[in-house]
Amino acid sequence: MTIRLLGRTEIRHLAKELDFRPRKAFGQNFVHDANTVRRIVSASGVNRHDHVLEVGPGLGSLTLALLDRGAKVTAVEIDPVLFHQLPKTVADHSHSEVHRLNVINKDVLTVTGEEEGLEEPPTAVVANLPYNIAVPAILHLLATFPTVRTVMVMVQAEVAERLAAEPGGKDYGVPSAKVRFYGKVRRHGMVSPTVFWPIPRVYSGLVRLDRYEESPWPVEAGFRDQVFELIDIAFAQRRKTSRNAFAEWAGSGNESAERLLSASIDPSRRGETLSIADFVRLLQRSGTWPPQAPETAGDSGDDEHVHAF
C-alpha cells in the first residue's frame, strides 16, 4: 500500500496541532518537499531487506519515505514531543506500516545498540542530520554498528564539502580523513533551503558513504583510535610539515623523519596532503601496532574479542 508523504501544509498543520516550535538547540529544520525525501531514499539504495537507522526524524517526512520503500526503520529522536508523535503520524499516513517502525527517545551520540534493545542490527543510516552533530553522529554510528553498509545523509553544504573532500583540497581535514577509514565517500548534489521549515540560511548537501566490503586495514577499535590520533596530530597545526607535526609523537631528533620515510611519506609534506592510507601505513610501520602485551605466567596467548552486533 502506498504511503502518503508529508507536504508543506501538513507539516505546518502538525506543528500547530502540537503547539510545536522548532528548537535551534536541536538543529530542527524539517523537510516538507516529497520529491526531496524520495531523492534521498532513492540515492541511499535501501530496500525492503534493510533495517535503517534514522537520526532526527522530526515530524516524519523522511521516515514515511523510508517505510514506503519497504525498509524497517529505527528512528532516534531526542525531542520527547516528536518522539511521541512520530508513531501516530506514521499510523495516520500508512495505516498498516507502523509495525515496521521503532522509535527511540535518545541522544544519538549515546546509542549503543544494546541498551536500546534492537531486535536486529541496522544495515544503513539515512538521515537529515542536525548540522551541529553531523560529523560526530556519523563517526559514532559507523564505529558502533559494523553492520551498517551504507550511510546517506543530508548535511549543511559546508559539512558535505568537508566530508567528501580529497587530500590536498582546501576543504580536506579531520572529518574527510576519518570517514574514509570506514569506506568510500561521494557527493550526491545540493538541496535548496526552500524545502525546509523553518528555512535555514544555508544550502544543504547529500553525502553517501559505502563501507568497504573488505577493509584494507585492521578494524579493531584500538587500531582505529591510534590512526585517528595521528589524523588529529597532523591537522592540529595545518601549516606544519609532517616532520614537525609528528615530532612529539615520534620522539626527539630525526626519529619523526625516519618514521615518515619508513611509511613512504616525504617528511616535508603537510597533513592536508596525507590520505587515510598514509595515516594507516604510518601507524603500521611505526612499530607501535599491535601493542606489546606484558608477558604473564600461564598466558596462553589467545585473545578473545567481543563485538556489539
Give every strand in the sheet of 51-55, ordered side by side. 101-104, 72-76, 51-55, 124-128, 150-156, 204-211, 183-191
One domain for residues 280 and 152 = no
User: Is 37 marked as a binding-site residue?
Assistant: no
One domain for residues 183 and 229 = no
Taking the chain, what is the end-to-end CA distance rounded to the nearest angstrom? 32
User: Is 56 marked as a binding-site residue?
Assistant: yes
Question: How many Cα atoms are found within 13 Å in the side-chain-facing hemisphere of 275?
Answer: 9
> Which pLDDT score is estimated for 148?
98
Percentage helix, strand, coil for the chain under 3-state DSSP, each rounded to 5: 40, 15, 45
One domain for residues 143 and 17 = yes
Q: Is residue 197 part of a domain?
A: yes
Q: How many domains does the chain have?
A: 2
Q: What pairs with residue 30 in β-bridges?
A: 197
- CATH code of 246's domain: 1.10.8.100
One domain for residues 185 and 236 = no
Contacts of 279 (CB under 8 A, 6+ apart): 177, 227, 230, 231, 234
One domain for residues 192 and 227 = no
Q: Is residue 305 part of a domain?
A: no
Give the span between the Cα atoms of 272 and 41, in whole angstroms.
33
User: Is 31 marked as a binding-site residue?
Assistant: yes
The whole domain housing 258 covers 221-284
One domain for residues 153 and 18 = yes
Q: Is residue 173 part of a domain?
A: yes
One domain for residues 191 and 235 = no
| Contact in structure between 37 and 63 (CB atoms under 8 Å) | no
Q: Is residue 155 part of a domain?
A: yes
Contacts of 9 (CB under 8 A, 6+ apart): none
Residue 101: which of 66, 129, 138, 126 has the closest Cα? Answer: 66
> Which pLDDT score is estimated for 23?
79
Give the span between the Cα atoms of 293 and 272, in whole angstroms.
33
What DSSP state is assigned to residue 190?
E
Contacts of 302 (CB under 8 A, 6+ apart): none
Question: Tens-of-pLDDT digits for all 309 residues of the chain?
Answer: 578 899 989 998 998 998 888 777 777 888 999 999 999 999 999 999 999 999 999 999 999 999 999 999 999 999 999 999 999 999 999 876 889 999 999 999 999 988 887 889 999 999 999 888 999 999 999 999 999 999 999 999 999 999 999 999 999 999 999 999 999 999 999 999 999 988 888 999 999 999 999 999 999 999 999 999 999 999 998 789 999 999 999 876 689 999 999 999 999 999 999 999 999 999 999 987 777 655 544 454 444 443 343
User: Is 102 marked as a binding-site residue?
Assistant: no
One domain for residues 78 and 204 = yes
One domain for residues 122 and 16 = yes
| Contact in structure between 241 and 261 (CB atoms under 8 Å) | no
One domain for residues 147 and 238 = no
What sign does the dihedral 195-198-201-206 (CA atoms) show? negative
Q: Is residue 132 part of a domain?
A: yes
> Which pLDDT score is estimated for 28?
80
One domain for residues 117 and 251 = no
